């Protein structure tokens, strides 16, 4: 696994909008907060464009990202938001220059597209907060400060509250995953998950319970859930039911699907579409240590 260089004072970073449109004030404020951390910040020329639900056309979004990928002076790319559109952007990119000197890509939700692509090429990335969540009530969020620590080379370990749905055990593996809807949408493509030796992290937002079940059944039918070494479940935020309730919540649906397997399970990691949104080093080797009284997620 290749890890981009850690960030330091004076390093140049980019802010890009590869998917949904963003309010200019939010993204520009994100740039200010990164400057306060000692970085030089370049915001994409089309970061505030609007084209329907997108931050400009596919070609303009891709042009901004391509420029950031190719610019050797840029050490990290922060994304303004997810939403939808990253795969459309990805299909227009040339990664050859990036592969010669990888840089950090930071985001979550629809940005799972880029995490998936880099995972297939054994390059680490960061599942972490985007510009709207850098601060809250004019105070840096804990999630943003942890993100800064990680990018500057600190190893972050997490203690997670025990959950009755957890399954005990100790295992190590390579962390992969992100947003469940995106993971499932990439099945059968070159960005599909490679499950062997992986610890899978999943989270989601604004989905019906039956749709969670359908996506999990896809991963089960495709052998993904059987082959992974462990499963970590983050927030499943604003889940919905039909007029006739499904009968189980998201965590119960997932637990039932993986019942035949023996690997450790963790439910309730504070990562996903809520705060705190702990940064996760995708591509790193981690240790899951799950028992009745404690849950430790440790970067090795």
Largest CA distance in the chain: 56
Nearest Cα to Cα of residue 202 among 274, 249, 267: 267
In the predicted model, what is the mean pLDDT of residues 259-263? Answer: 98
Give residue 236's pLDDT: 98
Distance CA 113, CA 175 (A): 15
Give residue 238's pLDDT: 98
Distance CA 172, CA 285 (A): 7
Domain ranges within the chain, ordered by starting residue = 12-151, 158-299
| 114's tokens | 């880029």
Q: How many other C-beta atoms lie within 10 A of the C-beta of residue 277?
A: 25
- The predicted-structure confidence for 41-90, as pLDDT tens digits, reads as follows 999 999 999 999 999 999 999 999 999 999 999 999 999 999 999 999 99
Pick the CATH number of 158-299 from 1.20.140.10, 3.40.50.2000, 3.30.559.10, 3.50.30.60: 3.50.30.60
Give residue 97's pLDDT: 97
- The predicted-structure confidence for 212-244, as pLDDT tens digits, reads as follows 999 999 999 999 999 999 999 999 999 999 999
| 92's tokens | 């227009």
- The predicted-structure confidence for 172-203, as pLDDT tens digits, reads as follows 999 999 999 999 999 999 999 999 999 999 99
Torsion, Cα of 103, 126, 119, 42 (10° steps): -30
- The predicted-structure confidence for 151-161, as pLDDT tens digits, reads as follows 999 999 999 99
Q: How far is CA 37 from CA 33, 144, 275, in A?
A: 7, 11, 21
- The predicted-structure confidence for 86-115, as pLDDT tens digits, reads as follows 999 999 999 999 999 999 999 999 999 999
Predicted confidence band of residue 31 (pLDDT cuts 50, 70, 90): very high
Give residue 240's pLDDT: 96
Superfamily assignment of 12-151 in CATH? Murein tetrapeptidase LD-carboxypeptidase, N-terminal domain (3.40.50.10740)
Predicted confidence band of residue 204 (pLDDT cuts 50, 70, 90): very high
Q: Are 168 and 199 in contact (CB under 8 A)?
A: no
pTM of the model: 0.97
Q: Are 260 and 227 in contact (CB under 8 A)?
A: no
Nearest Cα to Cα of residue 38 among 65, 12, 68: 12
Give residue 227's pLDDT: 98
Q: Are 255 and 221 in contact (CB under 8 A)?
A: no
Give residue 186's pLDDT: 98
The secondary element (H helix, E strand) that includes residue 135 is strand 135-136
Name the phi and psi angles at 35, rounded to 5: -65, -35
In the predicted model, what is the mean pLDDT of residues 268-281? Answer: 98
Q: Which residues are 247's β-sheet partners?
A: none
Distance CA 234, CA 92 (A): 31
**Long-range CB pairs of 149-157, under 8 A, 24+ apart, other chains included:** 150/126, 150/279, 150/281, 151/6, 151/7, 151/76, 151/104, 151/106, 151/126, 152/6, 152/7, 152/8, 153/6, 155/299, 156/278, 156/279, 156/281, 156/299, 157/296, 157/297, 157/298, 157/299
Could you please report the per-residue DSSP string of 163-195? Answer: -TT-B-EEEEEEEEEEEHHHHHHTTTSTT----
């Amino acid at each position: 696994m290749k890890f981009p260089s850690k960030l330091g004072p004076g390093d140049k970073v980019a802010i890009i909008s590869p998917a949904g449109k963003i309010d200019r004030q939010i993204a520009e404020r994100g740039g200010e907060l990164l400057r306060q951390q000692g970085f030089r910040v370049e915001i994409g020329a089309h970061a505030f464009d609007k084209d329907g639900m997108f931050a400009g056309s596919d070609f303009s979004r891709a042009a901004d990202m391509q420029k950031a990928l190719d610019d050797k002076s840029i050490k990290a790319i922060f994304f303004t938001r997810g939403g939808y559109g990253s795969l459309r952007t990805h299909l227009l990119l040339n990664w050859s220059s990036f592969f010669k000197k990888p840089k950090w890509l930071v985001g979550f939700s629809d940005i799972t597209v880029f995490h998936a692509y880099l995972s297939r090429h054994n390059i680490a990335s960061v599942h972490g907060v985007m510009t709207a969540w850098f601060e809250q009530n004019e105070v840096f969020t804990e999630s943003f400060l942890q993100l800064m620590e990680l990018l500057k080379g600190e190893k972050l370990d997490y203690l997670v509250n025990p959950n009755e749905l957890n399954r005990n055990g100790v295992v190590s593996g390579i962390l992969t995953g992100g947003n469940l809807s995106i993971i499932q949408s990439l099945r059968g493509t070159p960005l599909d998950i490679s499950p062997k030796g992986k610890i899978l992290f999943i989270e989601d937002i604004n989905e019906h319970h039956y749709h969670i079940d359908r996506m999990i059944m896809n991963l089960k039918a495709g052998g993904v859930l059987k082959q992974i070494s462990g499963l970590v479940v983050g927030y499943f935020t604003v889940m919905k039911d039909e007029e006739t309730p499904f009968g189980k919540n998201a965590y119960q649906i997932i637990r039932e699907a993986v019942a035949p397997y023996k690997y450790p399970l963790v439910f309730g990691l504070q990562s996903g579409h809520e705060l705190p949104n702990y940064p996760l080093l995708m591509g790193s080797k981690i240790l899951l240590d799950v028992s009745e009284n404690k849950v430790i997620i440790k970067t090795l």
